[in-house]
Structure 1
């Protein structure tokens, strides 16, 4: 059972680890393709926050968002492979922050061709989030190995 559990965690985390590795290789001076995709979405969020709260909202740098995404996916994935709940929490934070930002199907009409692909990706990330919640829940409920007390050896009395 231990090997299959490790292998399952390895396969699950490989999605995040390989994605972080690809982002790292493509990063460059401008943040890479991930930064180009995130830039309009981050600026839209920035405009909405400034409209609601005024100029007190700090400016988000897209490269910092990409770096934090890389760190959460990479470190979280590696820790998750070894059964750490900290790794599961890091991956959960990544999914909570990035899923609504990246897969914004709610900004498109149902007739738009991008709506259905974004909705499918959103639901897939929701399923990954559910699997991580299941892992965290099972880790907190599963009993630890109990150390059995040795029985003292009784001496024979004759």
Structure 2
């Protein structure tokens, strides 16, 4: 069981590590293709949040958003491979922040092909969130090893 768990963690964590590596190589001075793809979606999301909540959303530079997501994916994936709960937490934060922005199925008509494609990807990210929450729950439920102390026998006289 330990080997399967290790292989699963390596596969799961490497998905995020490789994604962060690819985006990091393309980052450049303007944030790369990820920034160009994310900027209109992020602006639309910020506009909808400010409209629905009545609170102004502060302006955040898209390069900062991309750099933050790179950090969360890279460190979270690496720490997850090393069996760290903090790595799982970083990946969970990344998914919670980026999923509603990237996969904005709610901005499309219900019958359109974009709606179904984005809804499917949104659901996949929710499944990844569920796997991370399961990992965190399982890690907390496994009892820690007790040290094997010798029991002190009382002497009878």
Q: 1:50 & 1:120 partners in 2: Cα distance?
A: 26
The one-character-per-residue Cα deviations of 1:94-121 (angstroms, maximum 9, x if unpaired) are 0100001000111111221211111111
The one-character-per-residue Cα deviations of 1:59-112 (angstroms, maximum 9, x if unpaired) are 110000000000000000000001100000000000100001000111111221
Q: 2:149 & 2:74 partners in 1: Cα distance?
A: 41
Partner of 2:55: 53
Q: 2:150 & 2:36 partners in 1: Cα distance?
A: 63
Shift of residue 138 of structure 1? 0.6
Partner of 1:150: 150
The one-character-per-residue Cα deviations of 1:4-33 (angstroms, maximum 9, x if unpaired) are 211110001111111101110110111011
Larger of the two Rg values belongs to structure: 1
Q: 1:147 & 1:49 partners in 2: Cα distance?
A: 52
CA contact (8 A) 1:42 1:60 kept: no
* Structure 2 counterparts to residues 73-92 of structure 1, below 5 A: 73-92=73-92
Match status 1:31 vs 2:31:
yes
Q: Cα RMSD between the aligned structures? A: 1.9
Shift of residue 139 of structure 1? 0.7
Q: 2:49 & 2:149 partners in 1: Cα distance?
A: 60
- Structure 2 residue runs of 5 or longer lacking an equivalent are none
CA contact (8 A) 1:104 1:118 kept: yes
Shift of residue 44 of structure 1? 2.0
- Structure 1 residue runs of 5 or longer lacking an equivalent are 154-158
Shift of residue 3 of structure 1? 2.2
Q: 1:141 & 1:78 partners in 2: Cα distance?
A: 23
Q: 1:8 & 1:43 partners in 2: Cα distance?
A: 36
Give every structure 1 segment of 4 or more consecutive aligned residues whose post-TM-superposition deviation is greater than 6 Å: none
TM-score by length of 2: 0.89
The one-character-per-residue Cα deviations of 1:22-48 (angstroms, maximum 9, x if unpaired) are 110110111011101111122223434
Partner of 1:156: none
CA contact (8 A) 1:95 1:129 kept: yes
Aligned length: 153
